[in-house]
Amino acid sequence: METKKYLIETFGCQMNIHDSEKIAGMLRNLGYEETQDKFNADIIVFNTCCIRESAELKIMAKIGDIKAIKKQNKNLIVVVCGCMTQQKGMPENLKKKFPFINIIMGTHNLEELENYINKFNATHKSFSDVWEKEKEIKEQTNVYRTSKYNAWVNIMYGCNNFCTYCIVPYVRGRERSRKVEDIKEEVKNLVASKKYKTITLLGQNVNSYGLDFKDGKTNFITLLKELSTLEGDFKIKFMTSHPKDFSFELIDYIASNNKISKSIHLPVQSGSNAILKSMNRHYTIEHYKELVDRIYSKIPNATITTDIIVGFPGETDEDFISTCNLLEYCNYSGVFGFVYSKRKGTPAEKFENQVPINVKRERITKLFDIQHKIVKKLSDQLVGKEIEVLIEDKVKNFYIGKTEAGKTIKIKDEDLQVGEFYKVRINKALTNDLVGEIIKC
């Protein structure tokens, strides 16, 4: 009997990438094997994102492409899940626009996918089931990991911050933390497998981990301390942090622990206090700079990356200049820059003083031009330095490594082990990557 095939279309952030690993685990548990050919698939799952309008439009187009395939293969099962379906009225809209969809589900009941597929196979009747409220966390063990030497680990779900531009709290629910012992057991097993050299902890705001327990003792630092006791050669990363909860104590602990990555993602969103207030971010640029100063003073080899939204409603030329100045101040090793787009159901959708699209495009271009020069300067400063690198691949005569900050390094050597850490001396900085050599013991 021929094995049935699955294809997962993933949109959005690291959280969704890891959700797709969970989906793959459930599908494989039902006997499906992966395919990249949509014409050869028996089931196609769209794991959606609605953080930006562009993502939603792309998803709609991708789903529409399946109509012709569904006509040829009437046994094809089409599933749509994730953040987009959690929006009010979206399941009805999807059913009307794409009647060939068989199963529509949301973020809160993702673990029910196996049951839903079995239900459809038994009845051959399409249905929608999107839970409005989040429920108790259900642990899942059959995750099919696809991120090579990195393992994503959820430590919490949901968000309580309600930034005015963001739809996440409405589609992911309130903050819910996993138990320390459950997280520690998962990480212990991942490290013991010796496949994973980086453990990346995931949450919409990892710095508020454990606060929902209300026990007065469980927080993000206590979790990091527990995970750091595990034996093995691995690094702990985490994302995403919120500056309002990113403490000096956390910075000091990162500085003191060799198992925690010194690459820190600290989204600022804007360099203007007026815009930050309008965004409901609950910190000032002065406080943010204090955090950056503390990071660089306590962790000299630290690298910082950030997120920035350009063209938020009411953003003036002066506000944007403040953001550009912040780039220079913080010396970011990477910036994820986005043009603001309205998200239905968020407060900012109704804000006045929307910035014209041509102004947004000019600003994002200027932002990336500035950041490109900063990255080039930082790369040049690495020449002659010795850093730790994880070797991830071999291409022809070169090994390809990654720094903690995600910078690619080419190393010409004869006998390195892919998936291991090495000390590397940087010899040259190219446009997009570095060239180095192994430091022999």
What does the DSSP 8-state code read for residue 208?
G
Strand order in the sheet with 43-48: 33-34, 5-10, 43-48, 77-82, 103-105, 127-129
Residues in the chain predicted with pLDDT less than 70, given as ranges, are 1, 441
d(CA 348, CA 342): 7
Residue type, 311: G
pLDDT for 21: 96
Q: Identify any residues that bridge with 46 across adjacent strands, giving them in sequence order.
A: 9, 80
Listed in sequence order, the DSSP H helices in 207-316 are 220-228, 248-256, 273-279, 285-298
What are the CA-CA distances from residue 120 to residues 84, 108, 353 (Å)?
Answer: 22, 19, 48
The answer to whether 201 touches 236, Cβ cutoff 8 Å, is yes
H or E element: which one contains 402? strand 398-402
pLDDT tens for 210-219 read: 999 999 999 9
Q: Give residues with Cβ within 8 angstroms of 428, minimum separation 6.
A: 383, 434, 435, 436
Backbone angles phi, psi at 221, to 5 degrees: -65, -40
The answer to whether 59 touches 146, Cβ cutoff 8 Å, is no
pLDDT for 1: 61
Pairing of strands 303-310, 334-339: parallel
What are the CA-CA distances from residue 179 to residues 136, 138, 139, 397, 427 (Å)?
Answer: 11, 11, 10, 46, 45
Q: Give residues with Cβ within 8 angstroms of 117, minimum separation 6.
A: 30, 43, 77, 79, 103
This prediction has a pTM of 0.93
